Amino acid sequence: MKREIPLLISFLAGTLIVISLFVPHPPFNKMEETLNSWYIIVSGFTFILGIDSLLLYNWDKIRRKGKDWPFALTVILSFVVTLVWGIVSGVRTGHIFSTNSTFRNYFYLYIYVPLQATMFAILSFFIASAAYRAFRARSLNATLLLITASIIMLGRVPLGNAALIPVLWIAVLLVAWVLLLEIKATTSASTRVGYLLMLILMVVIAVPLTKFLYGNLSAATDWIMDIPQMAAKRGIMLGLALGGIAVSLRIILGIERSYMS
């Protein structure tokens, strides 16, 4: 019974949601809303579980004086300060985020928001380092990615058209340099021929490509985003939708049971 009851609940909840998608008649019309409300209520209670887990995990580290225990102490102190400050501020001003709430004016605006902004800002450096690795022209795919990304980036900035020729030619020269290094380094004759052909192809198409793009950069960017990019994206989304149905059916039919022990 320990396994059968959760399976039955999953089957009934899943089936009712599927039926409610196709049957607008009561009582199916409110089924999804009702089940979602139940989920919100249940998940509200599970926050107690979450807090319990967080505090116990960190308290255990402090108690054992485990590695990096001061970080665990920081977590618990931050938790307590945030909780107490929030409650006191909320009770005193009537609302935790009212304009005269010290929690909002000091903690939220001067600690929490800047910390979040800092984490988000770090993303720009990570994008640069990931892009560097992805755009290294070590294969035909990476070279195509580099050229396409250069066109898109130039097409999306106001000075793009003016900067097109120098940027594109610097990119071409860099790729040519990388390819020459690869030709020198490789021992395989066939790979060497492949790199050489890639180099020739790139130099041959660089001039007409630059001529074409100059003045048509915005249109070219839109075309790449609307046609090849969108086609690939829709292909993935179609697969995701079908895969989602497969996972849902596996759970509804009890084939997939990894979520319960």
Partner 1 sequence: MISFVLMVIFSVRPSPIVDLKVMDNPNDEGGQIILKWDYRKDADLSQISYIQIMRIDRPGTAPVVVEELKPTARRYMDTDLKNGHPYRYFIRVWFKDGDYIDSAISPPVVPRAQWLHKGRIAALIILLLYGALLIYYLKKARRGERLTIRPIAGLQAVDDAVGRATEMGRPLLFVLGLGTVSDIATLAGLAILKRVAMKAAEYESDIIVPCFDPVVMAAAQETVKQGYLEAGRPDLYNEKNVYFLTNDQFGYAAGIDGIIMRQKPGAIFLQGAFYAESLIIAETGHSIGAIQIAGTSSVTQLPFLIAATDYTLIGEEMYAASAYLSRDPNSLATIKAEDWMKIIFIGLILVGAVLETVAGVTGNKSWSLIKTFFAGGAQ
The residues of the shown chain that bind partner 1, judged by CB under 8 A, are: 18, 21-26, 29-30, 39, 42-43, 46-47, 49-51, 53-54, 56-57, 60, 67-68, 71, 115-116, 119-120, 122-123, 126-127, 129-131, 133-134, 233, 235-240, 242-251, 255-256, 258-261
CB-wise, 206 or 252, nearer to partner 1?
252
CA distance 35 to 9: 12
CA distance 135 to 160: 19
Max alpha carbon distance in the chain (Å)?
78
CB-wise, 163 or 254, nearer to partner 1?
254
CB-wise, 57 or 106, nearer to partner 1?
57
* Smallest gap from residue 251 Cβ to partner 1 (A): 7
* Smallest gap from residue 113 Cβ to partner 1 (A): 10
* Smallest gap from residue 115 Cβ to partner 1 (A): 7
* Smallest gap from residue 71 Cβ to partner 1 (A): 7
Contacts of 137 (CB under 8 A, 6+ apart): 143, 146, 174, 175, 178, 179
Question: Coil, strand, or helix at residue 17?
Answer: helix
Question: Coil, strand, or helix at residue 1?
Answer: coil
Q: Please give the span between the terminal C-alpha atoms of the chain, in angstroms, as a whole number.
A: 12
* Smallest gap from residue 236 Cβ to partner 1 (A): 4
* Smallest gap from residue 203 Cβ to partner 1 (A): 27
**What secondary structure letter does DSSP report for 105?**
I
CB 134 within 8 A of CB 147: no
Q: Return the closest-CA partner of residue 136 out of 90, 177, 185, 166.
A: 177
CB-wise, 65 or 184, nearer to partner 1?
65
CB-wise, 45 or 166, nearer to partner 1?
45
CB-wise, 42 or 189, nearer to partner 1?
42
